[in-house]
Amino acid sequence: MINIMKYDEKNTEKIFARGAGVKDVSGAVSEIIKEVRENGDKALKAYCEKFDGATLKDFAVSEKELREAVAATPKKFLRILKQAAKNIERFHTRQKRTGFALKKKDGTIIGQKITPIEKVGLYVPGGTAAYPSTVLMNAIPARIAGSNRIVVVTPPNKEGKINPAILAAAFVAGVTEIYKVGGAQAIAALAYGTETIPKVDKIVGPGNAFVAEAKKQVFGAVNIDMIAGPSEILVVADGKSNAEFVAADLLSQAEHDKMASAVLVTDSEDLAVKVQAEIEKQLPALKRCEIARASIDGNGKIIIAKSIEQAIEISNALAPEHLELCVDEPFKYLDAVKNAGSVFLGRNCPEALGDYFAGPNHTLPTVGTARFSSPLSVDDFIKKTQFTYYTKDALDKVADKIAYFAEKEGLTAHAKSTTIRSKK
C-alpha cells in the first residue's frame, strides 16, 4: 500500500528519497560492448539468440516486412498514429533554429550556423512492452532537424519479428532503416558499427538498465541524449481533485516498471486517504498489476503539504520527469515550477496525453536531472558552429589588445599570431 506522510522540514530524508538504485550492470555491459566491437554481426547474432531467443539470418527489416506490418495494422490505429504524428510535428517544428550573423561597419562578421547531425540512431524498447510512441517522439524531431540517416534498432521476438505497431509507427514517421537488435549490443553496434549496422553520430531513446549503461559507456565515441532512469510522475493536487482520477494517473506510471516512482503531494489529508484507497481498488484490474504493485509499494508515496505553494516547492526539490498540477488555476502556478521535465496543467490533462498524442516530447529527464536537463527536442539533432571574419583593418585595431591578453596567460605564440599580421 502506498505510504502517506506529512511534510516535515526538519526531516526531509524520507520525503526526498528515491527508490533503490538499479543493479550495477557495468561489467556485463562492458563485456558486451567489447564483443560487438571485436566480432560485429557474429556477436550480435549470438546475443540475439541468448537474450531474445531468436535466430536471425539478417538484421535488417525488409521493405516487404514493413509493408506487411502496415497492411496488418488496424486502420483505426493507423489514423491515430497519423494524428499523433501531426501533433508532434506541429510542436517540434516551432523548435527549429536558424543561424545568425552579426555585422559591424568595420567589416567584421561573427555568427553561428546550424547543421543537422547526419546519422542518428534511435533505440526503441521492445521487452516487457512495445512503444510505437517512442518511434514518433524520436524520429519526427530528427527528421525536422534535417538528419539524413535515421536508424532504428529494436529487439525482435522469438520468431525474429518486430512488433508490427513499431513498424507501423516507423512508416508513419518516415523511417525505413530498421534493425532487429536490442539491448546493450544494439547500442554498441550503433556506436562502433558492424558489417550490417552503420555507425551513427548520436544515439537517443530510452531503455532498460543495460541500455542506459551502454549509452553511458559509449558516450564520447558518439553523443547521446541522456541517461534515462525509471519513469516518474508527481501529482500536485488540491482537496477539490477527484481521487479516482489522481489514483489512475499515479498508476499510469507505476505500470511502466517496478522501479517507477508515483508521488502525490497534496494540501488535503482527506484526498490523501481517498487516493490511497482508490489505488488499492484500481490496482487488481490492471493488466500489469504485478509491476504496478511493486512500484507503488516500493517507490510510491503521498506527501501532505501545508499548501499548494509548499507542494510545488517539494516538487521542485524532487524535479520529477512528469508533473501534473491538478488545481483550478494551473497557469497561476506555472511560473513557480522550476524543475520538471513536462508539466500537465489542470484536472483534465492526464500524463498519458503527453505520452501519446498532445505533441510535446515524452522522452524526458528522470531521477532529478530535470534540475539541469531538458526534454528531447529538435535541438538534440543539430550542431551549432560559430564563425568569425575580420578585415585587416579590423584586426589591426585590436591586435595589441589580443596580444596583451594572450601574454597574460603566458601564451606568446598566440600573441605573435595576431601582431605578426598587424601594422607596426
The catalytic residues are 321-322
Any idea what DSSP says for residue 283? Answer: G
Cα-to-chain-centroid distance, residue 111: 30
Helical ranges in 1-113 per DSSP H: 13-16, 26-39, 41-47, 63-72, 75-93
How far apart CA 333 and CA 287 sit, in angstroms, is 35
> The C-alpha cell of 393 is what?
583593418
Q: Are 266 and 302 in contact (CB under 8 A)?
A: yes
How far apart CA 140 and CA 148 sit, in angstroms, is 12
Amino acid at 44: L
CB-count exposure of residue 29 (10 Å: 0-12, 13-18, 19+): buried
SS3 at position 349 = coil
Provide CB contacts within 8 A for 77, sequence distance 6+: 165, 168
Longest CA–CA span in the chain (Å) reads 85
Provide CB contacts within 8 A for 399, sequence distance 6+: 418, 419, 421, 422
- What does the buried/exposed string (b/e) look like for 129-150 if buried means 16 or more CB atoms within 10 Å of the residue's CB? ebbbbbbbbbbbbbbbbebeeb
Q: Is the dihedral of CA 412, 417, 423, 424 positive or negative?
A: positive
Instruction: Return the H-helix or E-strand segment holding 146.
Output: none
Q: Are 73 and 164 in contact (CB under 8 A)?
A: yes
Any idea what DSSP says for residue 123? Answer: E
**Which among 404, 405, 403, 400 has a CA at the least distance from the CA of 415?**
403
Amino acid at 139: A
